[in-house]
Amino acid sequence: MKKTSTRLADGRELLYYDLSDDRARDAHDPRPLAPVVTTSEVRHDVLLDDHVAIASHRQDRTYLPPADACPLCPSREGHQSEIPSDGYDVAVFENRFPSLAGEFGRCEVVCFTDDHHSSFADLSEEQAALVLEAWTDRTAELAQLPSVEQVYCFENRGAEIGVTLGHPHGQIYGYPFTTPRTALMLRSLEAHAARTGGAANLFDEVVARERTDGTRIVLEGEHWTAFVPYAAHWPYEVHLYPTRRVPDLRGLDDAARAEFPALYLELLRRFDRLFGEGAPPTPYISGWHQAPFTHPLRQEFALHLELFTIRRTPGKLKALAGSESGMGAFINDVSPEAAAARLREVASEK
């Protein structure tokens, strides 16, 4: 991998991750951009003990531009994009409309490929491995920022999810706090350790239970296990754990890194086959749960990827209505065992 750092016209950082050393990276950004000005702040909800980012400047962000005006495609004559180059393998840059910025963290955009009409599932294993390297590198870099406590690498895919740019891309959020979802897991982890006298790790027990039961296992490799959780919140939801527990992406060994691309690509391709031939691409959210950097239980946390769709059946979405949105109490329309069986059924032919 070749990594090249440069700056966009308004001073934001842009990084290229290339598969080879052959591509020159001396192109500059000719756009007359003013420096980015944000209104980002983070407020604490004392009743729920969580945080809310207030970012009113995002009302003006780019929204579903036509393909020939995509800001994530390579630049060409007549169209200068966020990528001042005629091509790239993976590109990462600071978001022009960040939810978190400055003392309140950092937001980055990750472009998985320069092919606008592609998707992550269309990547080769080599390309997917490069994305994993980029995610890992950004986690390591953001860990050095005093304003970042936790890093979340994720992809929103599909207009149904709320995607505002059609180009295959994801985002990286560097939160200045421990997110509510992670805080809940850490509290459960701590309580379990207290009950067992520290003799057992809750994450390890969850994965071991799923491997022993087997009914919700979707895919297994030597170094990874993918399963539908026993109490899945979403119609089709898969959690992917490395066999060797590590707190974040930096801890993965070479064997786990080597096995990940083929296994993850297979999961994404199965998601696209869930609703039958001819169905539109499955909308999904995929994201890495990583340990906060300073939490005392950091080493007990288990890195894992969560992949889920809000589509529950052809033509129907799982709406977050009164119970889910108002009370945070989920009701799932698909049993986890049925979801796992369907995900095994749509496996790629060998």
103 pLDDT above the threshold of 80:
yes
220 pLDDT above the threshold of 90:
yes
Residue 228's contacts (CB-CB under 8 Å, 6 or more residues apart) are 216, 218, 236, 237, 238, 239, 336, 337, 339, 340, 343
% of the chain beyond a pLDDT of 70: 100
Q: How much is the mean pLDDT over the chain?
A: 95
**pLDDT tens track for 33-76:** 998 888 889 999 999 999 999 998 888 787 778 888 999 999 99
312 pLDDT above the threshold of 90:
yes
Q: Which of 167, 169, 289, 304 is catalytic?
A: 169
**pLDDT tens track for 276-302:** 988 999 999 999 999 999 999 999 999
Query: 156: closest CA among 339, 24, 15, 286?
Result: 286
pLDDT at 251: 98
350 pLDDT above the threshold of 70:
no
pLDDT at 63: 75
275 pLDDT above the threshold of 70:
yes
125 pLDDT above the threshold of 80:
yes
**pLDDT tens track for 161-212:** 999 999 999 999 999 999 999 999 999 999 999 999 988 999 999 999 999 9
265 pLDDT above the threshold of 60:
yes
The structural domains of the chain, ordered by start, are 2-175 (3.30.428.10), 180-345 (3.30.428.10)
pLDDT at 118: 97
**pLDDT tens track for 22-42:** 887 877 899 999 988 888 899
Name the phi and psi angles at 272, rounded to 5: -75, -15
Residue 27's contacts (CB-CB under 8 Å, 6 or more residues apart) are 75, 84, 85, 86
User: Which three-class secondary structure state does DSSP give residue 144?
Assistant: coil
127 pLDDT above the threshold of 90:
yes
Question: What's the predicted TM-score (pTM) here?
Answer: 0.96
Residue 169 annotated among the catalytic residues of the structure: yes
331 pLDDT above the threshold of 70:
yes
DSSP, residue by residue, 62-102: --S--GGG-TTSBPBTTB--SB-SS--SEEEEE-SS-SS-G
pLDDT at 21: 85
pLDDT at 37: 86
